[in-house]
Structure 1
Amino acid sequence: MSTTAFETLARLLDERWTCRQFLPDEVPRADVERLLTLAQRTPSWCNTQPWRVEVTRGEATARLRAAYAEHVMAHPQEPDFAFPAAYTGVQQQRRRECGFQLYDSVGIAKEDGERRLEQMLRNFEFFDAPHVAVVTTEEELGTYGAIDCGLWVNAFLLGAQALGIAAAPQAALAGYPSLLREHLGLPEYRKVVVGISFGYADLDHPVNGFRTSRADLDDVVTWHDA
């Protein structure tokens, strides 16, 4: 039986994962442009297309990585869009399961606070990725501008998977928008939604060996028939 469009999309969703260790090799500019061109087809409210994307490579990535290294431990997070105030119930359960899988993959004990901190800080090293995409939206578009950017991110991630490019969407990078404004020349009215580290996966690294689960349909869908 020939592969249908639905089956292709299902395979991309099933096989996509968050890469947490990259090889140093850069993605050719032509492939990055191909990926960005695909993501540009993302739908948005009234076709506003609020996303703007800053893409780093080479020395620009290295400078941004160094800036985070100096900044993160000395400054509080001040995201443009508030991070979750709390995790409770099933959301907390899922978050903990994901965290324990991550720590287990690299041999970090639950009580080893020092190594857990080191692993968290790997976010700001971009997991050694050669590229970062920083996604911003227009301030006046508010929450729905950010939602449209989320649709763009999903298209980017699936397109990357189709091209053999690994990626890690990272809210952590959005926790320090002032740093990004300074180093990327972003105006104040552009609000930082998320960062995406991307490149080629180091498939031999154990941190890339685990996969998270998804809830059953009955856990997330309520049918109303009458």
Structure 2
Amino acid sequence: MIETCTDTALPADTAALKRLVTARHSCRAFKSAPVPRADIETMLGIAQQSASWCNSQPWQAIVTEGEATNRFRDALYAYAASNAWSDQANRPEAPDFTFPKQYVGIYKQRQRETGWALYESVGIAYGDRAASGKQMLENFRLFGAPHVMIVTSEDDLGVYGAIDCGAYVAHVMLAAQSLGIATIAQAALAGCANFIRDWFDIPPHRRIVCGISFGYADPDHPANSFRTTRAAIGDVAHFVS
């Protein structure tokens, strides 16, 4: 668990920030109701204040609405389903930024804990690879979200452009939380980089970082019933004096 002062001991702004950060979670089931354009623009306007190296602001975002979301969802799902994406051991991933080589040790433990918490919430038995593969494909349905954002960076900026985009993504999700908008950042979509590039006519010098599906959470869906844990400060921060 996160080790912090109690909310009553925190300044008001800090307490508000803590509440937003703590409440934010990866939403895996959305209502169909769209988010008003004004709220989306507010969310993006706040995220635009993200820090970046030399103020390069490398992020560009494609945001879908209405039938554009549905057309993309249907095409992306058909592409993923026809290319063995439900086979988690042999998925044909082709991201612009190399995915992790492997998860080992504590990182593997956290990955497993998160995966099985999700599977348990939706009634998937341990070892049922067919069912877990089907659940994985829900990424390409955008979990039913009425909007998706595709975040890209400039090729010349390399990994540091992607790092700056990571800060932008975090601010998008936090701003969304403040507006009552649920989000999920999806690296899975980046594995379909070539398909997404062709679909949205993204120039070759733009590298796809991730997608963010967003909308209003369906609180009654079992996939939204669990929360991930966080390591203690002592496990990740080492003070030197």
TM bucket, shorter chain:
over 0.9
Distance 1:47 1:40 in 2: 11
1:6 aligns with 2:14: yes
Q: In the alignment, is the contact (CA less than 8 A) between 1:65 and 1:125 conserved in 2?
A: yes
Runs (4 or more) in structure 1 with deviation over 4 Å come to: none
Matching residue of 2:143: 127
1:25 aligns with 2:38: no
Q: In the alignment, is the contact (CA less than 8 A) between 1:67 and 1:179 conserved in 2?
A: no
Paired residues, what number?
Answer: 225
Which residue identity is paired with 2:93? Q
Q: Secondary structure at the match of 2:51?
A: coil
Which residue identity is paired with 1:172? A
Unaligned runs of 5+ in 2: 1-7, 84-91
Matching residue of 1:85: 101
Q: In the alignment, is the contact (CA less than 8 A) between 1:21 and 1:128 conserved in 2?
A: yes
Per the TM alignment, residue 70 of structure 1 is displaced from its structure 2 partner at its CA by: 2.1
Matching residue of 1:49: 57
Q: Secondary structure at the match of 2:153?
A: strand
Per the TM alignment, residue 133 of structure 1 is displaced from its structure 2 partner at its CA by: 0.4
- Per-residue CA distance 1:80-135 (angstroms, 9 max, x = gap): 00111100000000000000100010110012111111100000000000000000
- Per-residue CA distance 1:26-52 (angstroms, 9 max, x = gap): 001111011111111111000000000
Q: TM-score, normalised by structure 2?
A: 0.91
Q: Secondary structure at the match of 2:185?
A: strand
Distance 2:239 2:36 in 1: 46
Distance 1:134 1:163 in 2: 20
2:74 counterpart (47, 66, 69): 66
2:190 counterpart (174, 178, 182): 174
Distance 1:107 1:42 in 2: 39
Q: After superposition, where does 1:69-218 map in structure 2 within 5 Å? A: 69-75=77-83, 76-218=92-234
Which residue identity is paired with 1:187? P
- Per-residue CA distance 1:157-192 (angstroms, 9 max, x = gap): 100000000001000011011111111110000000
Q: Secondary structure at the match of 2:237?
A: coil
Q: Secondary structure at the match of 1:169?
A: strand
1:40 aligns with 2:48: yes
Distance 1:21 1:118 in 2: 15
Per the TM alignment, residue 66 of structure 1 is displaced from its structure 2 partner at its CA by: 1.4
Q: TM-score, normalised by structure 1?
A: 0.97
Matching residue of 2:86: none
Q: Secondary structure at the match of 1:133?
A: strand
Which residue identity is paired with 2:138? R
Distance 2:82 2:216 in 1: 31
Which residue identity is paired with 1:37? G
Per the TM alignment, residue 3 of structure 1 is displaced from its structure 2 partner at its CA by: 6.0
Q: In the alignment, is the contact (CA less than 8 A) between 1:23 and 1:129 conserved in 2?
A: yes
Q: In the alignment, is the contact (CA less than 8 A) between 2:81 and 2:137 conserved in 1?
A: no
Which residue identity is paired with 2:124? I
Distance 2:180 2:56 in 1: 30
Which residue identity is paired with 1:125? R
Q: Secondary structure at the match of 1:167?
A: strand
